Amino acid sequence: MDNEVRKDEVTGMLRLKLRLILKNKQTRLILLLTLCVSLVISVIGLLSYSGYREGLDTELNTPNIELLQINLDVTNRAFRESDNKALDAAYHPDVEAFVRVQTDGKSLEDNASVIDRLQKYLKTLSSHEEIYSVEVISLDNHALVSSNYGYMPDWKQAPDTTWVPWIQDIQKKPLLIKRRWYGTDREQGTVELLSLARPIVEDGQVMGAVLINLDYDRFFSKLYIHLSNSQYVYDLEGELIYPKLRSSLPLNDMGRILKELDVSPYAYVEIGDMEYMANQTFSDVTGWRLVSLVPMDKLLKNVKLARNMMLWLAFISILAGCSAVYYYNYAAFRPMKKINSLLNSGNKGTRQGGLYDLEPVISKLVGEFHRKSLVVERSLPELRSKYMEDVIQRRMGIQEMRMKWEQYFSDWDGHSLFVMIVSIDRYSAWAASFPEEDKMLLKYALNNILLEMLEPYWKAVCSPEEESGFIVLLQFSESSNEVGTETDLQESILLQKSVDRLIQVVGEYLPLTISIGIGHMVTDIQEARASFIKGKEALNLRLYEGYGRSYTNIDSSISVKKDNTVDEQSKEQIQDSTLLDNRRVEMIRALESQEPGASVKLISHWVEELRLHRTSPAQVYLFVHELLEDLLKWCTTQSVTPPDQLADYHWNQILTLDLQDIEVLLVIMLTDIEEKWHGRIQSKDFVRVQEMIEYMEHHLHLNIGLQEIADHVHMSVSSVSSMFKEETGTTVYDYLTGLRVKKACTLLCETHLKIGEIAEQVGYRNENSFIRVFRKHKQVTPGKFRQISKSSNEYADRSKGRYFGEIEDKYED
């Protein structure tokens, strides 16, 4: 206790000294000059260092990136050449004959000529200086033909088998690139290789593989290596490909560097006491990551020294200024030592008159302590409210949560806690009927009524819950428990009665109604969020039960999907979600149909289904939210002005409504949208534009343009152009080009027509013009698109049909 008093005394003395120092003009001038000088020195040092670093980035980063790009082009070119050879080999007649022979099980003697020709062909392919060997592998019978050692009926007998563990992956991937050793031992082979494998496909099945083995040393001998930097190559799995020997940098440091780089083109990294500039680039052919490290120690040594000297000079200037202030005011603080001695109880030699000097200091200390006590006492409710909000939103850790609980809730015991959610019914309509000042006053009155009604039996803390209500933390009051200790069940019953009375009183005195959800009882503040979630689930039952009621966690567990097991509930929830997604798709179809009132009928039928099956309220609210978002997107896409309720829509607008009011809201919106949509599609401009689109779709094979379309609809070219742009948001040329590219994609995927034939069928008389337009829209040539499409159809699942935008994408899983 004495230590605390002495500490407060010392603090008071320090504050008084600081005030006296700052009151002196000369002292303030010295401090101001000291701070200005040190600040100028520090800014100059930091700006100089920053400017040098920025210039260094420009001077060093660009050539290193260019060097990496050169090496990337070298590796990509080499792999493209090998990949083209692998693809040619995969479709070679002798290769297909060998794989088919192995599949049919015919004898080797009957097909010796095929194998002999195949081996000669493989030797021809492997004549390139970088290619070590080429092999054709049959996956069904484990047979192979190699350019080095000929035919092997069983690949286990081959002198090179380190590719066996991963060759089956070719069934799932159209291209494999692996680093390995030539031989039978994965760790100690004779020659290090880079193997590229392509599948051999027949009738949609992977029957074998073409394996091209590149000599590792010859392949990487073409890389350009700068003397002052180090280069590294990593594959898709993060394994080191190059350099061959282990680098002087530890692998764990390189792993950290890769994480720091992520996808940035360059970054500054530290390894031990050394600083490096790391550059990287990625290969779109192999998926490899090329990284270079340039040591920065020598380049930055002098500029770092200059920066540090400037900062030390600024620090020394601050010390000099503080020293000047201290010596200047030393004489002024001598009387304070006397006051400090009077505060100590052992000083008997002090003059009696010194007590008069002590009186103002003591009065000031006591006054400040009293003012702080009042501030803490008055701000405690706000601190508790903010703490409750942080707990619910998970903005603090467990240790901080418990520490603040002990500080702010010292009169609570930490057990038998309830979380209650109070929500204003029809909040959006209620808020729109009052000015902002009146809303604030009504919420303040609601908060006071809550605390007043709960006070006789409960300790309560209120915190705002979004805009529509409050979160209330409750604990049974010990002062009200005079008869005996209440059980948990009795506390729950008493809470239910208090809440029902609260709803009644609010309805009598305020122009609003409230619904309340009560979570389960918890024994620790750490579990308050779980009780809050259960209370929200209970409150969602307002959807079916209506307004002005209280809902407990028990109600929420038995009111929806009664008498079902957990598995059955999960299945029904999945079925409900699928059904609701289908309803959203049907809603868009009903809007686009010509039948008046089709969407309104669909909404009425949907509401009847919900009342009958009692679908989970959370799923219903989510469905309505996504339906309104989809309607807003549809209105934007179709150039239809959305209703006022939809234009100002926000999530909280539907969370405080019951099912009947949600139905009314949807009916109003859909009726408005239908009227505007039907009026638009019946307009002359819309019909004319649809006629233009139909003409373009039926004459894609002809060399038509804007003039032919204008002649078809008997209008001028300028009128057609402006009308089409206004109705569709795009030009006639862009729309026609899009139709041609789309039709070309279909022909490339579904037919075997040549590129020139496809160009003629979509209205291009020049094949080169067609290829140029196709590449502009698809970023690949038609031949490459057909190849990619073929690979995708063989190894990937077929895509599902889509009706409208993102409606079916959100919860497809």
Q: Which residue, of 649, 681, 713, is where some domain finishes?
A: 681
Is there a single domain that holds both residue 750 and residue 784? yes
Tokens of 339: 């006051």
Least confident of 157-161, 482-486, 639-643, 759-763: 482-486
Residue 7 has pLDDT above 70, yes or no: no
H-type alpha helices, 461-549: 488-509, 528-539, 542-545
Measured CA distances, 657 to 504, 518, 665 (Å): 19, 18, 10
Beta-sheet strands, E only, within 458-607? 458-465, 469-476, 514-518, 550-552
Give the H or E element holding residue 181: strand 176-182
Least confident of 27-41, 61-75, 248-262, 798-812: 798-812
Categorize the per-residue pLDDT at 406 as very low, low, confident or very high, splitting at 50, 70 and 90. Answer: confident
Higher local confidence (pLDDT), 331 or 547: 547
Of 387, 381, 377, 368, give the one whose Cα is nearest residue 450. 381
Residue 526 has pLDDT above 70, yes or no: yes
Least confident of 413-422, 630-639, 677-686: 677-686
Amino acid letter, 206: V
Is there a single domain that holds both residue 552 and residue 607? no
Is there a single domain that holds both residue 672 and residue 705? no
Is there a single domain that holds both residue 698 and residue 742? yes
Is there a single domain that holds both residue 633 and residue 580? yes
Report the pLDDT averaged over residues 48-67: 70
Residue 396 has pLDDT above 90, yes or no: no
Least confident of 206-220, 278-292, 494-508, 786-800: 786-800
Q: Supply the range of the domain harboring residue 452.
A: 413-559
Instruction: Tell whether 371 is covered by a domain.
Output: no
Q: What is the pLDDT of residue 515?
A: 93
Instruction: Tell whether 600 is covered by a domain.
Output: yes
Residue 688 has pLDDT above 70, yes or no: yes
Q: What is the pLDDT of residue 812?
A: 34
Q: How many CB atoms lie within 10 A of CB 591?
A: 21
Is there a single domain that holds both residue 498 and residue 615? no
Instruction: Tell whether 225 is covered by a domain.
Output: no
Least confident of 210-219, 334-343, 437-446, 549-558: 334-343
Residue 24 has pLDDT above 50, yes or no: yes
Q: What is the pLDDT of residue 516?
A: 92
Residue 547 has pLDDT above 80, yes or no: yes
Q: Which residue, of 544, 559, 574, is where some domain finishes?
A: 559
Higher local confidence (pLDDT), 23 or 532: 532
3-state secondary structure of 245: coil
Is there a single domain that holds both residue 636 and residue 660? yes
The whole-angstrom separation of Cα 90 and Cα 607 is 59
Number of domains present in the structure of the chain: 4
Residue 2 has pLDDT above 80, yes or no: no
Residue 165 has pLDDT above 50, yes or no: yes
Q: What is the pLDDT of residue 16?
A: 60
Is there a single domain that holds both residue 479 and residue 497? yes
Is there a single domain that holds both residue 434 and residue 548? yes
Instruction: Tell whether 41 is covered by a domain.
Output: no
Measured CA distances, 363 to 6, 95, 190, 335, 357 (Å): 16, 103, 92, 17, 11
Q: What is the CATH number of the domain that holds 124?
A: 3.30.450.20
Instruction: Tell whether 599 is covered by a domain.
Output: yes
Instruction: Tell whether 29 is covered by a domain.
Output: no
Q: What is the CATH number of the domain that holds 719?
A: 1.10.10.60
Cis amide linkage into residue 782, ω under 30° from 0? no
Q: What is the pLDDT of residue 482?
A: 42
Report the pLDDT averaged over residues 194-215: 86
Q: What is the CATH number of the domain that holds 547?
A: 3.30.70.270
Measured CA distances, 375 to 5, 365, 369 (Å): 21, 16, 10
Instruction: Tell whether 597 is covered by a domain.
Output: yes
**Checking DSSP bridges between strand 230-234 and strand 205-215, what pairing results, if any?**
unpaired
Is there a single domain that holds both residue 119 and residue 162? yes
Report the pLDDT averaged over residues 209-213: 88
Higher local confidence (pLDDT), 310 or 659: 659
Is there a single domain that holds both residue 482 and residue 555? yes
Q: Of the spans 11-15, 33-37, 322-326, 676-680, which averages the highest pLDDT?
A: 33-37
Q: How many CA atoms lie within 13 A of 337 on its CB side?
A: 5
Q: What is the pLDDT of residue 806?
A: 33
Instruction: Tell whether 491 is covered by a domain.
Output: yes
Is there a single domain that holds both residue 425 and residue 549? yes
Percent residues over pLDDT 90 in the chain: 5
Residue 674 has pLDDT above 60, yes or no: yes
Q: Which residue, of 681, 716, 737, is where some domain finishes?
A: 681
Report the pLDDT averaged over residues 304-332: 70
Q: Of the spans 135-144, 361-370, 406-415, which averages the highest pLDDT?
A: 135-144
Per-residue pLDDT of 131-141, as tens digits, reads 888 889 888 88
